[in-house]
Amino acid sequence: MEVRLEGITKSFGDFTAVNNLNVTIEDGTLAGLLGPSGCGKSTTLYMIAGLEKPTSGRIYFGDEDVTDLPAEKRGIGLVFQNYALYPHMTVRQNIMFPLENAKVPKAEALKIAQEMADLVQIGHLMDRKPGELSGGQQQRVAIARAIAKKPRVLLLDEPLSNLDARLRLETREEIRRIQQETGITTIFVTHDQEEAMSITDAIVLMKDGVLQQKEAPQEMYRKPANQFVASFMGTPP
Ligand code: ADP
Ligand code: MG
């Protein structure tokens, strides 16, 4: 599902965290929302999710204006850096939770949970509790849970930042593979330009709440829109 932000601004008192953001994330793509800490990435993601309300501007999923739609009606999947799994539940119960909430019949929810777990390669861990898993495995459970209801848009906020270096590499490739297999439009927040470069179709680069450039990763090196983009992106690997 295409995600389109039209003139999105978010103010907290007299501080403007996101300033007149106009950007389109194409249907079926993986976009990286990139920029230094505090530039407004999470605030933007939460507005797309429906967890924060824009001060002004409109948000569209395809032709539908979702600006006033509550989060639970937007058809989104959310993954945070700290996984936010239910520690007392098994992996299976964690993945099934949103399905049961949505009144999906038990047999069907079980089947979907197994499919999702297999997709993220944790199908053999269904009876474990989150505390018995590695950080990378926990993040895969969180992703399986987020995509179980076949969201229109998958939103990930710094999903790799709690993982060690090796798992970060492995899990980011995993996110790319899952996105390509499911075709779910995915927005991936990170402050790490190399991470964004390596797995996304397009990078949305922000600074101080303002969009600097939106471009395919390699193009961003070739024609940076300004000095900030050039210095943030550095030289190609
Ligand atoms: P990022 O995710 O890019 O690191 P955020 O979107 O979390 O940045 O925050 C952008 C700016 O908005 C920061 O300066 C942050 O302190 C501020 N901010 C975020 N949420 C709130 C809030 N609820 N109240 C006041 N300021 C906020
Ligand atoms: Mg953030």
What is the per-residue burial (b if ≥16 Cβ within 10 Å, else e) of 148-161? bbebbbbbbbbbbe
122-142 pLDDT, tens per residue? 999 999 999 999 988 999 999
Instruction: Using alpha carbons only, give the angle 18, 217, 233 rounded to the nearest 5 degrees.
Output: 70
Residue 165 DSSP code: H
Which ligand 1 atom is nearest residue 39's CA?
3
Q: What is the mean pLDDT of residues 101-130?
A: 94
DSSP code, position 183: -
Q: What is d(CA 219, CA 221) in angstroms, rounded to the nearest whole number?
A: 5
H-run or E-run covering 208: none
To test the ligand 1 pocket, which listed residue (9, 21, 43, 206) has its Cβ within 8 A of the most ligand atoms? 43
What mean pLDDT comes out for the span 188-217? Answer: 96
Residue 207 beta carbon below 6 angstroms from any ligand 1 atom: no
* pTM reported for the whole predicted model: 0.94
147-183 per-position pLDDT tens digit: 999 999 999 999 988 888 888 898 899 899 999 999 9
DSSP 12-53: ETTEEEEEEEEEEEPTT-EEEEE-STTSSHHHHHHHHHTSS-
- Residue nearest (by alpha carbon) to ligand 1 atom 14: 38
